[in-house]
Structure 1
């Protein structure tokens, strides 16, 4: 289950990172500047007579040192009139207000009480490692606690939200004066998590506790496949666990991809060029965005470079 959340939930973990507190990055691992490595992530295009829509799969949090915003990706960005992301990040105050409204539980059972007894020691250990008091986490809904621990853990491992693809694309768009919009709002993304049944939220949080030490290797592996432009291998890796949680896969991936395919179909009725950047996991696997585009007789062509 954790792979699915790293695939589809890292965008929200990225914007939760400031609210989670500034984690201390491992200074030994990052005492020297990382050497720059070339990355060639996959890029697709959907077009008709007067409209071109590029589809780029992102990784929301990256370690420094990957050179990916160049070659065909940069060319597609520069050729585009508008930039479309999964969501446009709200400012920190607005985000904190949204989190308080959707993810806090001040009157119901505590997070500890919702966990099986044999997982409560793991909660205390994860809280201690990330510097988040159990007493504070106890008022979080399970989904919010899981995303918060994930955000802090990934920062400690050296995954930097500021070098994630969305923030680099947003900064480049601002510099170039290109308009930026979102397929979803932050509130809509939060509600995807908050509307999950209680038992699914708890299972997710237990998976975070069980696999907290595996987050780094998991995301490292995903980043390698992304950098190598191998969505088939990425889809195969991630689809392993989707069969075990079909409701989670529907909420986080299939339903959203179907809505985004509808948006792209409608956008093709307007002339111009758009650069659409969504999490790479949405462009891989059986319920990919390309799958739902094909259902609408739209072909997403892979751009070779």
Structure 2
């Protein structure tokens, strides 16, 4: 669900407000310990990247230790839900199965048609009924500089199942995919066309992965919020969702130790999960 700017959701669905980065520049970490405020056990917050090249996929010992010490896995979506793919498919189509071809100029339609025909063997006449962010997700896969990819969410799901840990989601497919329904389709289409024309997805993805592997939250912020759809619609795509998660996390953490794995774009900023948890009275500390 990503073009040049949509791919920024990979670190989210993904963001940050500059007022928080004076401290984050020295406390950069993807793993955070949550304690205090009446909790009898520590919980953990980990920032993921939803897709990454296989050779860059790393789970270090501190993350493994935090996961193993936790009693439940909490993610944006429960990937173990047997109805997940069916629900995703149901929410991937434009209302009335309307084809986006009618929303594009002749030139842009031709560019997109050629791209999808070359990479997927089908053109807009067939797949134009898919929502713009779904097409963007498909396009992103073809811009990645590697043949094989990995998913942190997939890894944690498999580990939780092997260790008999319960898995819960903070959102439903309807809520998460419905986020894009609040953003004008034209805005999403313009970004998708730009990504395909500029062929810039791979370069920006590489920069983001470098910052992610270095756990450089400030660099991620600068890259992800400099312009585009994420900057304009951050309130919808991130802030409001973060705020909706906090009451759920409070309820879960008071009962047991949980390992929370969400897109790293949700971690920082004035309305990020870390800041919101601190404002709610918890101690949230980076785990080095």
**Pairwise same-fold verdict (TM > 0.5):** yes
Partner residue of 2:76 out of 80, 86, 99: 86
Structure 1: gaps of 5 or more residues? 13-39
Task: State whether structure 2 residue 272 is matched by structure 1 residue 288.
Answer: yes
**For residue 178 of structure 2, what is the aligned residue in structure 1?**
191
CA spacing shift, 1:170–1:50, aligned 2, 3 Å: same
CA spacing shift, 1:177–1:149, aligned 2, 3 Å: same
Partner residue of 1:179 out of 149, 153, 166: 166
Partner residue of 2:248 out of 263, 269, 275: 263
Conserved 8 A contact 1:105-1:140: no
Q: Higher RCO, 1 or 2 (CA under 8 Å, sep at least 6)?
A: 2
Give the structure-1-normalised TM-score: 0.77
Task: State whether structure 2 residue 31 is matched by structure 1 residue 43.
Answer: yes
| CA deviation after TM superposition for structure 1 residue 56, in Å | 0.4
Which deviates further from its counterpart, 116-125 or 184-193?
116-125
Which deviates further from its counterpart, 220-229 or 193-202?
193-202
Matches within 5 A, 1:22-171: 42-48=30-36, 49-66=39-56, 68-89=58-79, 95-96=85-86, 98-106=88-96, 108=98, 110-131=99-120, 132-154=122-144, 157-160=146-149, 163-171=150-158
Give the structure-2-normalised TM-score: 0.81
**For residue 206 of structure 1, what is the aligned residue in structure 2?**
193
Conserved 8 A contact 1:3-1:241: no
Q: Could you give the per-residue CA deviations for residues 13-66 of structure 1, whole angstroms, max 9, x where no partner exists?
A: xxxxxxxxxxxxxxxxxxxxxxxxxxx962111112403220101111121223
Structure 2: gaps of 5 or more residues? 14-27
Between Structure 1 and Structure 2, how many residues are aligned? 271
Conserved 8 A contact 1:86-1:277: yes
Conserved 8 A contact 2:4-2:195: no
